[in-house]
């Protein structure tokens, strides 16, 4: 009976090591970088949004996105909605790289933006 329990523990340990080798989206920094952020999912990224015409600054985590707006979860727990066209967004990628993007470049439905062709920059 003890040998069976020992085998189960070994199998579980093996499963954990195999799962830890599989890179996830957030852990694999190779998938998201400054060159392909416009064609990538931005939910879950930390962002600092600065107003184009006004001197307003918001920071938080992206929790939602529509065609023309981005929803941020601020540090105090409030969710605010920002119009993409009115802000310049500075995203912090999982590898701590920062990318600044004009909101006008993000306009579009998220699922269509993934398909959109972008000129090299």
Q: How do residues 96-106 score in pLDDT, each as one tens digit?
A: 899 999 998 89
* Percent of the chain with pLDDT strictly greater than 70: 69
Q: Tell me the mean pLDDT in the region 47-70.
A: 93
Q: What pLDDT, on the 0 to 100 scale, is given for residue 121?
A: 52
Options 3.40.640.10, 2.30.30.210, 3.40.50.2300, 2.60.420.10; CATH of 37-113: 2.30.30.210
* Helix (H) / strand (E) containing 63: strand 57-65
Report the predicted TM-score, pTM, of the whole model to 2 decimal places: 0.69
Q: What pLDDT, on the 0 to 100 scale, is given for residue 31?
A: 75
Contact 33, 43 (CB under 8 A): no
């Amino acid at each position: 009976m003890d040998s069976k329990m020992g085998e189960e523990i070994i199998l579980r340990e093996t499963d954990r090591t195999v799962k830890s080798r599989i890179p996830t989206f957030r852990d694999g920094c190779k998938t998201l970088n400054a060159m392909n952020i416009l064609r990538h999912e931005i939910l879950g990224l930390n962002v600092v949004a600065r107003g184009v015409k006004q001197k307003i600054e918001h920071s938080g985590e992206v929790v939602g996105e529509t065609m023309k707006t981005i929803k941020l979860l601020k540090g105090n727990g409030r969710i605010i909605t920002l119009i993409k066209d009115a802000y310049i967004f500075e995203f912090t990628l999982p590898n701590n790289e920062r990318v600044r993007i004009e909101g006008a470049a993000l306009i579009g439905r998220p699922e269509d933006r993934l398909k959109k062709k972008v000129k090299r920059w």
